[in-house]
Amino acid sequence: MTLEPAGVRRQALSVGLATALYGISLGAVAVASGLSVLQACLTSLLLFSGGSQFALVGVLGSGGSVWAAVAASSLLGIRNGLYALQINAAIRPQGWRRPAAAQLTIDESTAVSVAQSDDAGRRLGFWLTGLTVYVGWNLMTLLGALIGRSIGDPRTYGLDAAAAAAFLALVWPRLRHRSGLQIAALGAVVDLSLVPVLPAGLPIVAAGAVGLVAGLRQVSR
């Protein structure tokens, strides 16, 4: 089914605005994990990948090292590189649009783009979704960080557990299929098995690596 430009715009804006709201949780959790408001905002401005950002602040919040946090975040960011291959073929960005497209290549912009049946719709869906999420996500991150800074001890309000809850909300749609559930279960087993023997932050890195290998094996079949 081919959507008219107005339909693509509605789809892109609805997805973009709904996703951007998660930025409030990210900002609050980032501050609760020890980041400053500026640092929280920089993760959204520069990293701009919800799953990777929640992994970063989650590892830091659990007492993990900066290197473990970066490793966990990077593992989750690999999928965006795979999306970029698909997006490059779909919208064929040129010149300054190439680095801009790389920054905006996330789950939501890719999903809306590839759902369209013609080149014009794919380009419109990608750019509008990506820009909507980017602007909204950064604004909501700032709002969440300011809220997190003002409330004091995050444990009083349960924000110390918010990273896990928000991350689960982001990945929940991927658990509707058996393959996603199997990979998630494998990662959970690896993580829980290594918690007693490895420093904080490293179990999730190991679980992410195992999950990545398992996911790539399923894709190659």
Same domain, 168 and 200: no
**What value does the mean pLDDT of the chain take?**
80
- How many whole angstroms separate alpha carbon 76 and alpha carbon 108? 15
Same domain, 183 and 84: no
- Whether the CB-CB separation of 131 and 100 falls below 8 Å is answered with no
Same domain, 149 and 211: no
- How many whole angstroms separate alpha carbon 174 and alpha carbon 195? 25
Same domain, 86 and 153: yes
Express as a percent the part of the chain with pLDDT over 70: 77
Structural domain of 192: 177-221
Query: Tens digit of pLDDT for each residue in 77-128?
Result: 887 888 888 888 888 888 899 999 999 998 888 888 888 888 888 898 899 9
- The domain tally of the chain equals 2
Same domain, 44 and 116: yes
Express as a percent the part of the chain with pLDDT over 90: 20
Query: Tens digit of pLDDT for each residue in 118-162?
Result: 888 889 889 999 999 999 999 999 999 998 888 766 556 665 565
